[in-house]
Structure 1
Amino acid sequence: MKKYIMKWTESSLILKIVIGAIIGAILGVFVPDWTVIAFPGELFVNALKAIAPILVFVLVISAIANAKSGIGPRFKTVIGLYLFSTFLAALVAVTVSYLFPVTMHLTAASTEAAPGGLGEVMYTLISSIFVNPIDLLAQGQYLGILFWSVVLGLALKSVASSNTKDILSDFSKAITKIVQGIIQCAPFGVMGLVFKSVSESGLGIFTQYGQLLLLLVTCIALVAFVTDPLISGIILKRNPYPLVLTCLKESGITAFFSRSSAANIPINMNLCERLGLDEDFFSVTIPLGATINMEGAAVTISVMTLAVCHTMGINVPFPIAIALCVLSTLGAYGASGVAGGSLLLIPMACSLFGISADVSMQAVAVGFIIGVVQDSCETALNSAGDALFSATAEYHDRMKRGVPVNFLGEFAKKVIK
């Protein structure tokens, strides 16, 4: 048995995931009633969601408690990249929506509760920090988890003995080992997730809301293949596409099917480790990115809001559209790291144009209809960006310090192998 397990773990994970996705799609078309096939997908996502809060909490505490000096500049760089890329994603969405305006059928009603405004979103974010850490872990509230793990890590850094820090390090390695075991089950999980999507939704969403979906996917693709590489390339002054494509393949594929940035945190940490990044660095930046790097959410909020405006015949001057970019960027930070987290922020953006919640919540309902594809693409962009900008920030820091960085031609081969 050990021999077969070793062969399984040594074979290409991406190839196994692709095979699992193909099998899931075929089964979803021909035997949609066999709902038991979706069970491994539910287990896989639940396992990632269960371990991710503990992983973040333990790794961040251990990283800070054992941290060496010189991490500060990298954090400033990656936070700046997260914020700027999210705003640029919103700007891309607004520009494309201006060039190719689309409308939607606002006939569905929705009873979901939505934030009343940006102030409410920011209040909720800040107030969610000062909650019992045990409750935060149970609920998977990553902003609060990050806050308390940083506080505890700083406290332990100043008072803990070397033995205590070693125990923390060993505990974080044990949690990481568990995560690696879960990741090896990804092909079965993806098979179940693909089966569920195909058996429940089929291809019908491409006909009724095809134009809107095409616009959203186009904007996300432009961000993934144009603006993000442009940012990374300018920072590194080298061809960024080997890094970009590797992050999309290794992180984006699993995020596409799990539709959860939070659940993909262990995947990204595993990728960063294989890329040779500093664990003290990426163990903080990856969960942080799952919280504030919301490029896909900014795209969704901007496109859906302007689609509502076009449907209602509201003229949106470009300067006001820039204000929408800012609002979408700030609102995206409040989007949760779970499927559909950005949709409930559409009414907040629509309020900028005086659109009532009754109308804007219908757009939310439309968003859930096309969410199988929209949210999958959005999450893939968000999660791949977390790994991309973490790597960009660290490589940039190494280059500034004169450390040789010959990664853009070699690391991709190493990861693929």
Structure 2
Amino acid sequence: MNAKKIWDSYKFPLLLLAGIFTGAVIGIIFGEKAKVLAPLGDIFLNLMFTIVVPMVYVSITTAVGNMVNMKRLGKILGSLVCTFVVTGAFAAVLVLIVVNIWPPAANTAISMGSSEMAEASSISEMIVGALTVDDFSGLMSRSNMLPIIVFAIMSGFAVAKCGGEDCWTGKLLNSLNNIIMLMVDMIMKLAPIGLGAYFANLVGEFGPKLIGDYGRTMLVYYPMCAVYVLIFFPLYSYFAAGKLGIKRMLKHIFNPAVTAFATQSSVATLPVNMDACKKIGVPEDISNIVLPMGATMHMDGSVLSAITKIAFLFGVFQMPYTGAGTYAMSVVVAILSAFVLSGAPGGGLVGEMLIVSLFGFPAEAFPLIATIGFLVDPAATCLNASGDTIASMIIARLVEGKDWLEKRMAGGELEA
């Protein structure tokens, strides 16, 4: 019975892990020939990406529209901003300490000479582009997740003003939300095969590049991610819900972490995160708002990787990576690049372009950090997406009080 209970509890993550492990072995053995499996992975990812835009729009609009108490929504959004900023700051402090103790470009064979930083680009233009689109059709694309979220929140306010869940539109949205989540469940049944095929292609294509001059950067970055997970995740969970929070986080965080690591996409992990938050006990009106926004705004792993890339470029171009101004600029650029690179597997290319342009590095710096991006992206996305689940727990505590999880457990709303 115990073995059956363990299997029932962890069947899906074990199947996911088995699929990814099998894919990795196939990629190592067959190398680039493993690309023949790419269509299976692409089909799964395409299904995930197809459902994600309607899921984000409908879930946020429904959550906001169903709220009779607008003060609660304001508290959720305020807690969200505070949580994202504080956890991002902890990540920034950790990586700044690490890259100064162990410079990622120390003793590298790459030599590009010295360089001077050019003037920064206009941040105001980037803010406008990040939050809005100039045509309604732009809201149909997952490349514009923040504008979709903004539009969904506005739609939710309008639905709430017209009667919320009791009006015809509110009832339709709630039905659509149920239908979409059932479709997500159907798609996730393909995950072990889809992620295994995707990972086989990834390892087959980039595996040989895991050695060489970039080895030191990997040795700096991956242990740093492990430290962040082992120290900060339990601390965040303890703050969110005490020892019970840590226990439920450890039980349910595996699915989103593995999915994010394999797909390298916070957006593709959204459906899995939704399910994890539901099982942990996070109220749905909180998770339905926090998770979609977290997929584009809560980027602790990307902050770690972006500052690591910046420090790497400073070393390659023989520039001292010191000074409060340099560190502050690094944090700002890291956050901005994190906004850009979320949402697509291996989608850091645009974010890395942003790092090069905002810091004023020459064009030849781009392929240097693009290679690093491909190598660190799995771990970065894993931290980003699984961190969204934990952020939802923190926000639940800030909105509902310290004993929010105990009350839900005592009320029989959750499985032990």
The TM-score with structure 1 as length reference comes to 0.84
Question: Which residue identity does 2:153 align to in structure 1?
Answer: V
Query: Which of 348, 357, 360 is matched with 2:362 structurally?
Result: 357
1:145 and 2:148 correspond: yes
Question: How large is the Cα RMSD of the aligned pairs?
Answer: 3.2
**Structure 1 unaligned spans of 5+:** 1-7, 109-114
Structure 1, residues 205-248: CA drift from partner, whole Å, max 9, x if none?
Answer: 13442111121212222222223433443454547543443454
Match of 1:119 in 2: 122
Match of 1:20 in 2: 19
Superposition pairs of residues 368-387 of structure 1, within 5 angstroms:
368=373, 371=374, 373-387=375-389
1:199 and 2:211 correspond: no
Q: From the superposition, tell whether residues 180 and 131 of structure 1 become closer, same or farther in structure 2 (CA, over 3 Å).
A: farther
Question: Which residue identity does 2:220 align to in structure 1?
Answer: L
1:155 and 2:158 correspond: yes
Judge which range, 228-237 or 312-321, deviates more.
228-237
Q: 2:136, 2:357 → 1: CA distance?
A: 34
Q: 1:118, 1:411 → 2: CA distance?
A: 50
Judge which range, 269-278 or 229-238, deviates more.
229-238
Question: Which residue identity does 2:57 align to in structure 1?
Answer: F
Q: 1:202, 1:331 → 2: CA distance?
A: 25
Question: Which residue identity does 1:378 align to in structure 2?
Answer: A
Q: 1:185, 1:212 → 2: CA distance?
A: 34
Match of 2:74 in 1: 72
Structure 1, residues 92-143: CA drift from partner, whole Å, max 9, x if none?
Answer: 11110000113145479xxxxxx984534x5234235143333222344110
Aligned to 2:406, the other structure's residue is in SS state: coil
Deviation of 1:249 after TM superposition, in Å, equals 1.0
Match of 1:337 in 2: 343
Structure 1, residues 166-186: CA drift from partner, whole Å, max 9, x if none?
Answer: 121011100111011111111
Q: 1:380, 1:165 → 2: CA distance?
A: 34
Mapped contact 2:253–2:389 kept (Cα < 8 A) = no
Deviation of 1:405 after TM superposition, in Å, equals 4.4
Mapped contact 2:52–2:142 kept (Cα < 8 A) = no
Q: From the superposition, tell whether residues 40 and 11 of structure 1 become closer, same or farther in structure 2 (CA, over 3 Å).
A: farther
Match of 1:5 in 2: none
Structure 1, residues 323-372: CA drift from partner, whole Å, max 9, x if none?
Answer: 1234423443343322344454446556676x53324324333325xx1x
Match of 1:36 in 2: 36
Q: From the superposition, tell whether residues 79 and 345 of structure 1 become closer, same or farther in structure 2 (CA, over 3 Å).
A: same
Mapped contact 2:239–2:394 kept (Cα < 8 A) = no
1:273 and 2:278 correspond: yes
Q: From the superposition, tell whether residues 97 and 144 of structure 1 become closer, same or farther in structure 2 (CA, over 3 Å).
A: same
Judge which range, 395-404 or 254-263, deviates more.
395-404
**Structure 2 unaligned spans of 5+:** 1-6, 113-117
Q: 2:404, 2:35 → 1: CA distance?
A: 56
Question: Which residue identity does 1:289 align to in structure 2?
Answer: G
Question: Which residue identity does 2:62 align to in structure 1?
Answer: S
Deviation of 1:149 after TM superposition, in Å, equals 1.0
Deviation of 1:276 after TM superposition, in Å, equals 2.5
Q: From the superposition, tell whether residues 342 and 36 of structure 1 become closer, same or farther in structure 2 (CA, over 3 Å).
A: closer
Mapped contact 1:48–1:182 kept (Cα < 8 A) = yes
The TM-score with structure 2 as length reference comes to 0.84
Superposition pairs of residues 268-347 of structure 1, within 5 angstroms:
268-323=273-328, 324-346=330-352
Aligned to 2:401, the other structure's residue is in SS state: helix
Judge which range, 397-406 or 127-136, deviates more.
397-406
Mapped contact 1:265–1:286 kept (Cα < 8 A) = yes
Q: From the superposition, tell whether residues 335 and 199 of structure 1 become closer, same or farther in structure 2 (CA, over 3 Å).
A: closer
